[in-house]
Structure 1
Amino acid sequence: MNARQGAARARRVLAVIASALLITGLTTGTATAASAPDGKFCVVEVGKSVDGGFSPVKSETCSDDPASPAFTAAAAPDVLLMEWFWNAHNNPPNLTRIIVSAEEGPCDSSGYRLRPNLIWDNEISGFYTYSNCRSVSIYDGYSLDGDGAYWFDGRGDGPNVGYVGDRMNDRTSSLWIRY
């Protein structure tokens, strides 16, 4: 084996390892669910980020029925921060709700740094925010980097963006929501 063949083999091995890590959700610092959830209506409970890192995913519940107890009960006493829409203006409906426990409260200045799970990565077409999440930044990079867009609404709970626009549609891989 010559040097060129050895280098090509090493790249293939690294590509296989990297793919395995992405598929299992084991990348360092990720708040991504380890596997794709069942159902198109999901509730994801996150926690406060530590030291400016990504918010940990505490639980994820999904259902094909938006009226199911699994979907509606998951958000009962908790604080709703955000809803992601698969389709512009959530038509036809397919959404994920991002919640936190009542103890962790609404958005504040440090906010929540999020990575969509394997189903939602590069699939967000619109979103609504709640609970004082007045500032939203979305990025096509996994570490709040790359091409992005920003929305701010200082009058209400936060921006309601039915459609993120042609430039960012289906390109969101990380988000930062905050007061």
Structure 2
Amino acid sequence: MSTMARIFAIAASGFFAVASFQPAQAETTDAYSFTPERHCLFLVEGISSGEEESRILSYECHTDKDSARQAQQASSGTHLMTWYSGQNFQGSSYRIQGTSGPCDRSGYGFSNVGSVWNNRISSFKTYNRCNSVSGYDGFNYARDIYVCVACGSSSGYSEPYVGNVANNRISSLKMWNNWH
């Protein structure tokens, strides 16, 4: 079972492995549902040499946007990317913050976006030098369906709609910096 799948299995049980957050603030609604809307924060490490995916350090979700915003402000890490369930950055969101700093050529990767987000990504924004993104229709980076290399600026990239081919089909994802 991949790291991401293990995290989602833990989240479904109601137990959150949270390092620097206060779990009492987190909502414990069903981890496999977007009703009500959910706003999640993941703290991850960059891809280590010889590895293919980022290691997840902590996970926290909220159904209230203000609580989610407070958790994001209290979190350590560099804001890298936010995925959205709806077009134009609407709906549930999944914010990724990295402890390895801004994106570099190794970047960050998720060989399995997990049960909650599998086939649900419709739009995203990247930040802090994450200017390249590949989305895959299969787990373990199988079947490229969305690719944008050296998009946007050095600060990041906004994709209000991943397109008809990739919409609600992304199962794994990589992001990196292609300019440095």
TM-score normalized with structure 1 length: 0.75
Preserved contact between residue 152 and residue 158 of structure 2 (Cα < 8 Å): no
Question: Which protein shows a greater Rg?
Answer: 1
Partner residue, 1:97: 95
Cα deviation, residue 75, structure 1 = 4.5
The root-mean-square deviation of aligned C-alpha atoms, in Å, is 1.9
* Matched residue count: 148
Is 1:55 the counterpart of 2:54 in the alignment? yes
Preserved contact between residue 31 and residue 54 of structure 1 (Cα < 8 Å): no
Partner residue, 1:149: 146
Partner residue, 1:78: 77
Find the aligned partners of 2:61 and 2:69 in 1 and give their Cα distance: 6
Output aligned runs, 1:111-122, within 5 Å: 111-114=107-110, 115-122=112-119
Is 1:136 the counterpart of 2:133 in the alignment? yes
Partner residue, 1:106: 102
Preserved contact between residue 138 and residue 172 of structure 1 (Cα < 8 Å): yes
Query: Which consecutive unaligned segments of at least 5 residues does structure 1 have?
Result: 1-26
Preserved contact between residue 137 and residue 172 of structure 2 (Cα < 8 Å): yes
Aligned residue type for 1:112: Y
CA spacing shift, 1:55–1:75, aligned 2, 3 Å: farther
Find the aligned partners of 1:137 and 1:153 in 2 and give their Cα distance: 11
Aligned residue type for 1:105: G
Indicate the percent of aligned positions where both proteins have the same amino acid. 33
Query: Which consecutive unaligned segments of at least 5 residues does structure 2 have?
Result: 13-27, 30-36
Give the 4+ runs in structure 1 shifted more than 6 A: none
Preserved contact between residue 145 and residue 165 of structure 2 (Cα < 8 Å): no
Cα deviation, residue 163, structure 1 = 0.5
